Structure 1
Amino acid sequence: MTRRIQVSSTRLERWLSGFHDRHQIVKSVYYGNGVKFLGINGDEASVEVPYGAIPVQGERDGFAPEPLLSHASRSLRLGMVLVRLGGYAVGVFDGPTLVVSKVDSRLVHGRHKKGGSSSGRFARRRENEVRQLVNAAADTTARVVLPRLASLEAVVVGGDRAAVAQVLADKRLSACAALVRGPFLSVPDPKLRILQESYEKALAVTIDIRDGQTVR
């Protein structure tokens, strides 16, 4: 059986040490942007980092997490675009420091449940509200992220998938869309605090844990 979890880069060393204590890692296999840790009992943990290949590759005997930890904890320059139907937050991080940002709230009414002529008017009003939100978020991304794109490791997005997709479909943002990497962040209505907290979430690694009984 395999299960998947996400672990923040700040907790990764502690998590790996605990896995090693329980399973006695006998081999560490570095590949691309991941590492597979093999336990003496056949259990394994495959860790993948979201941005770039780990410089060290190949097999190492025993528990060898140092190259992974060094790579996962490095300071990155990231663009952040968070969009929900209640608003948006756009920013650029230099490491954990938010160096520039723009946050705005927008009213988008919920879907109309009743029928009749009023439902059509309500739907058109809602479509107009969504369009205004998307246009404002795209304009802000073009002003905040696009001029700094060449210096970024990645652009990370989150919120409502459909709304984010509409923002990135703006022709001005094709280069931004091409640089989208990392996890899609699940966030509530984007406020400044939510944006500030998104950097650590964006650095989370993905770990697949497999029981030895399923290993071939």
Structure 2
Amino acid sequence: MASTDSRLAFVPGPRLLGWVERFAASHGAVAQEELDAGLQLRAADGAVALLQPPWKVDGRPGRGGDAVARLASLASQPRCLGAVLIRRGGYSVAVVNGGAVLASKTGTRHVQSRTAAGGWSQQRFARRRANQADALVEAVAEHAGRIFAEHRIEYVAPGGDRTLSELVLAEPVLKRYAALERLPFLDVPDPRAAVLKKAAADLCSVRILVTDPPA
């Protein structure tokens, strides 16, 4: 049975045309199709690339041209994002614009892993773990609210652990951001300075899912 491999790449708007040209050079002539999910490129050898903008078209003017040029233009426009990256081992909250971090708070706050032990000890452990998670969520939400308040946030960008990030964004201190559009969830390891720097660039880039031709 033929098998295919997929991989995810993030390409900044100014580099998108070059990426598409290299994709065509590697896989053959490319046919473009605009889908609800994004711009699909299907190459002669069967490779497929789905290009998705970092944010939706919102009426702000951009360059014309073909679909790739319009997508590159959209991704090159500045947007002010409020990023919430959180995992059990740490967190980063940041204001991001143009792929760069304008303001941030990064820290560690341990939440214990699950245990297979049973009985009363397990119940006590579960309560302790829940209390640690609650404290982490509350602290991260407070940091985010303080940092976001100094900027005009246009989009919210969650990442890391889905459950924890949803809990942070549901905290009352972040209520004013609840109505903002959320960008696609970003899968990141425990947030550290280097992780945050890469995440900031990725959040403002075109997200490309490449599926290689069947082997």
Query: Is 2:99–2:202's contact at 8 Å kept on the other side of the alignment?
Result: no
The equivalent residue for 2:157 is 156
Matched, 1:14 2:18: yes
Matched, 1:185 2:186: yes
SS of equivalent residue, structure 2 residue 117? coil
1:15 positional shift: 2.6
Over residues 21-58 of structure 1, what are the superposed CA-to-partner deviations in whole Å (9 max), with x where a residue is unaligned? 34324x65557784344667897654221212286799
1:101 positional shift: 1.0
Q: 1:56 to 1:137 in 2, by over 3 A?
A: closer
1:9 positional shift: 2.1
* Separation (CA, whole Å) in 2 of partners of 1:117 and 1:211: 51
Q: How does the TM-score come out when normalised to structure 1?
A: 0.76
What is the count of residue pairs matched by the alignment? 207
- The worse-fitting range, judged by mean Cα deviation, of 32-41 and 178-187 is 32-41
1:109 positional shift: 1.5
Q: 1:120 to 1:72 in 2, by over 3 A?
A: same
1:132 positional shift: 0.5
* Separation (CA, whole Å) in 2 of partners of 1:13 and 1:81: 30
- The worse-fitting range, judged by mean Cα deviation, of 202-211 and 116-125 is 202-211
Query: Is 1:30–1:56's contact at 8 Å kept on the other side of the alignment?
Result: no
The equivalent residue for 1:172 is 173
SS of equivalent residue, structure 1 residue 90? strand
The equivalent residue for 2:105 is 102
1:17-36 counterparts in 2 under 5 A?
Answer: 17-21=21-25, 22-25=27-30, 28=32, 34-36=38-40
1:13 positional shift: 2.6
- The worse-fitting range, judged by mean Cα deviation, of 67-76 and 203-212 is 203-212
Unaligned runs of at least 5 residues, structure 2 = none
Report the AA paired with residue 23 of structure 1.
G
* Separation (CA, whole Å) in 1 of partners of 2:46 and 2:128: 58
* Separation (CA, whole Å) in 1 of partners of 2:102 and 2:209: 34
Q: How does the TM-score come out when normalised to structure 2?
A: 0.77
1:100 positional shift: 1.2
Which of the pair has more CA radius of gyration? Answer: 1
Q: 1:121 to 1:197 in 2, by over 3 A?
A: same
* Separation (CA, whole Å) in 1 of partners of 2:120 and 2:85: 34
Taking only the aligned residue pairs, the percentage that are identical comes to: 35
SS of equivalent residue, structure 1 residue 35? strand
Query: Is 1:80–1:157's contact at 8 Å kept on the other side of the alignment?
Result: yes
SS of equivalent residue, structure 1 residue 88? strand
Matched, 1:138 2:138: no
Q: 1:172 to 1:2 in 2, by over 3 A?
A: farther
1:147 positional shift: 4.4
* Separation (CA, whole Å) in 2 of partners of 1:118 and 1:210: 47
Report the AA paired with residue 13 of structure 1.
L
* Separation (CA, whole Å) in 2 of partners of 1:98 and 1:136: 20
* Separation (CA, whole Å) in 2 of partners of 1:210 and 1:165: 30
* Separation (CA, whole Å) in 2 of partners of 1:193 and 1:209: 25
